[in-house]
Chains A and B, each alone.
Chain A
Amino acid sequence: MTFNKVQGGISLFQYVMFISQVQIGVGMMTLPTDLAEVAGTDGWISILLGWIAAIVISLVIVRIMSRQPAETIYDLFFRYLGRGLGACAVLLFILYCLFVFTIAILVKIHITQTWVLPQTPNFFLMLLFMIPILMLVHFGVNILVRYVEFVGLGTIVIIPLFFIAMKGGHLIHLLPVLKEGWLPVFQGVKTTVLSFLGFELAFILYPLLRQKNKAAKGIIIANTITMCMQMLVVITCYIQFNPYQILTYIWPTLDLFETVEFPFVERIEVIFTAFYLFLISTSGIPYLYTAIAGIERLFGDSIREKAMLVLGLGYIVSAFIYNPTFYQVNQMQKWGGNIGMFVAYLFPIAFWLYAGVVDRIRRWDKT
């Protein structure tokens, strides 16, 4: 089951779910605070702007991919950059994917340790989390897509929770709109970048899509779903906490649920955190998969299982040796945002222009 040999391709619904589920994840936990630091309670406007930016870049990605509908970004690298440079580019993309995956899994472990299992050591959790991850990567993209689809459907269940949490809030916290002008709002857009990251996996997903003509529509829907989800989270947090209070929280989304109580269960945030692992898993695993698909492209099909095992073992062993502190994880997340900015936002535009020029030159040469 290598990447190009997928049976039947994937449907539009799966494509939408895949991209939006990769986007919804790590960012959802910290976004309200991160945004409030820069843009105050006007952060929700930044999300709208970030959404527009994400859609524009996504459309550029779709344009790039539609040049060679059957090829992934890796094939395009070789096609447009030649063997040597192409291999370098593939390697860089793999490293990027691994980095994002690392962030996702570190955040996953961190949140679990802080909220649910304070006494379980890092490597234990790493070992536990690696089981479903390696299973999914082993089964291949078909099953991965189905899994993401399933989790995407399951996400609907948590939405009412936010509305329940919103009940005790005050809408007045959102007013006045644009209290400090547009500048902080624009600065806030940069913060939302990490939360919208994920659409760049269209680079690898596009060739599998059954109805290629709907790719642009699909990616817009996916970005919109993500935007709605983030909007819900951010607005709930803003009206539940006052503008000063929110700055004191690290994971405001979880603190939100501390106020929610049901007669049959207290501390709903513990359960929420545990189930939130589903959401993080769908934003981390696709990156690992993409990385392994890249390794496969570089070294051939046979390396796949080996690469998987080596990577899995590597992560587990490194969890024995290195325990990042909260500050370090946070720092990594910031780098992730910056690197993601380059890979997902600037690189597609540059590559699009470059590919256009190369194609035109090649056509000239032929005639």
Chain B
Amino acid sequence: MRYTFSRYGKNLAKTTDMISTDLGENLRKLHERFADAPDLITTQFLMGETNRPALLVYLDGMVEKPVLHQHILRPLLFQTFAYTDLSNLELSLTGRKTARAWAHAEGAILSGRSVLFVDGEEHCLLLDTQGGPQRSVDEPATETVIKGARLSFVESLGQNVSLIRRYIPHHELKIKELRVGLRSRTKVALLYLGDVANLELVKELEERISRITIDGIVNVGELQELIETHWLTPFPQFMSTERPDSAASQILQGRIVIIVDQSPWVMVAPITLTSFFQSVDDYSMRWMISSFIRLLRFAGFLVSLFLPALYIAALTFHYEIIPLNLILSIGESRERVPIPPFMEAIIMEITLEMLREAGIRLPSKIGQTVGIVGGIVIGQAAVSAGIVSNIMVIVVAVTAIASFIMPNTELAAAVRILRFPMMIVAYMFGIVGIVVGMMVLIIHLLALESLGTPYGSPFAPFLASSWKDNLVRLPIWSFRNRPRSIRVQQEVRQEKHDKSGDEK
């Protein structure tokens, strides 16, 4: 294997070790390999009537104890059977494999299997007893919807796969399992429709994942950073979701879902910028309402990106564009404020970001207090103390709300970061600075790619047919084709729909 030549090689040098026929020798080897592992349980006993010494090994906490006792220890101890060899051992537990090499046995123990050694056998038996701590399937915490399902992914790959499988019980749902990390050996699965998804993209993803030579990953975000192409951007090139229904719908559209074991978030690729403005709930509401909300999100995106910058530009450079009555009231409100608009905006925006971060990291009960304290301080005290103006408070509040209506937290984070450079260019060049900032942003977004798919699609490259599900959400019967930007094998998604109903 490739990694035996790397500097991690010395850890895997013992791969050639074989299991001995002598139980005592095996036990010694085990203790040598698992030195300082107090959770390793080794049980020596005599099997049934044959009285052959046997050794059962497992890691405490990684196995399902009742299964182990009911289906393995009990039959082995009390059942009478004629022992011929290990692979014919009649246990009520299915899914058994044998191993000869220590490396295999060790891997099995570490992944939660239990291993049975029998005196005189040069094999050991690997038994599927994986258990370990597990969370029950719960309601999604961040992506809440009104009419969607109430399930979210959990921390086990197998369960996550089955959550998706229940949405798409079809033989074309392919699952490709890979391993990442030389130490963590984290399981990563690619899920896609074999006859729909663009197989070149699947291959590309596989290649990128197999190129990783890190010692371990623990989260989906790490994998994302290891396989993306553009590192110099605040925009995510993979979308993460914790909702099985959203993941399933992405698979049905022809995209690829990447599940990382131990992570309750999954990644979706390839995506475009507009994917971040879609939420599963859009498809369960009336189309007009969803279209309206989707347009609102685009407006929110622009507002939260440019509003503070516009405030600065208008007040420092171009007060002539503000209507007379408005400028009078702004002047009145800014009368007692000694600091320039730019500083005012920066202070307020940073305060807002701090409040927000504090609210997220603190336990929910204290988190609420943070909100109240922040609200009072900013809304009331700071204004009456003459540190900020009323108008600025409104600007900050509108900006914050606009950034909250984006359904995806990753995009909202990108916008939060980009707000600051926009404010700086607005301070330096006024509205011209904002326009140039916009140009740079647009060029950047158009140059971005997610797994080789242009990020700016369907606006540029222009795909008129995709607008009906990207800018707005037209009735579902009108989405006859899959999104064209991902170049799927099967374009057609549904046949022409007959809506005439009973009136025929």
Task: Report which A residues bind B (CB closer than 8 A).
Answer: 11, 13-14, 17, 112, 116-117, 120, 124-125, 128-129, 131-132, 135-136, 139, 143, 146-147, 149-150, 153, 263-268, 270-271, 274-275, 277-278, 281
Contacts and interface: CB of A to CB of B under 8 A. Distances in A.
Contact of A135 (B318, B430, B443): B443
B308 interface: no
For the complex of A and B, the 5 pairs showing the least CB-CB separation, nearest first, are A146-B460, A150-B460, A132-B439, A149-B460, A274-B431
Nearest to A261: B323
A132 B440 contact: yes
B429 interface: yes
Given A117-B432, A131-B436, A135-B443, A266 B461 contact: no
B459 interface: yes
Given A266-B320, A266-B322, A149 B461 contact: yes
Contacts, number: 95
A143 B436 contact: no
B204 to A, nearest CB: 14
Contacts of A117: 317, 429-430, 432
Contacts of B462: 11, 13-14, 17, 149, 153
Given A128-B433, A274-B434, A278-B435, A267 B321 contact: yes
Contacts of A278: 435, 439
A17 B459 CA distance: 13
Contact of A150 (B317, B322, B431, B456): B456
B435 A11 contact: no
Contacts of B103: none
Contacts of B433: 128
Interface string B470-482: 0000000000000
Contacts of A263: 323
B432 A116 contact: yes
Contacts of B324: 266
Nearest to B441: A132
A120 B317 CA distance: 11
A139 B443 contact: yes
Contacts of A14: 461-462
Contacts of B429: 117, 120, 124-125, 128
In the complex, which of the residues B323, B456, B459, B460 has the most CB atoms of chain A within 10 Å of its own CB atom? B460
A120 B462 CA distance: 37
In the complex, which of the residues B322, B431, B454 has the most CB atoms of chain A within 10 Å of its own CB atom? B431
A82 B122 CA distance: 80
Nearest to B425: A128
A274 B435 contact: yes
B459 A274 contact: no
A172 to B, nearest CB: 32
Contacts of A120: 429
A146 B324 CA distance: 40
B436 A277 contact: yes
A136 B443 contact: yes
Contacts of A274: 431-432, 434-435
B447 interface: yes
Nearest to A113: B432
28 contacts: A13-B462, A116-B318, A116-B430, A117-B430, A124-B429, A125-B429, A128-B429, A132-B439, A132-B443, A139-B443, A143-B443, A143-B447, A146-B456, A147-B460, A150-B456, A150-B460, A153-B462, A263-B323, A264-B326, A265-B322, A265-B323, A266-B320, A266-B322, A266-B324, A268-B321, A271-B321, A271-B431, A277-B435
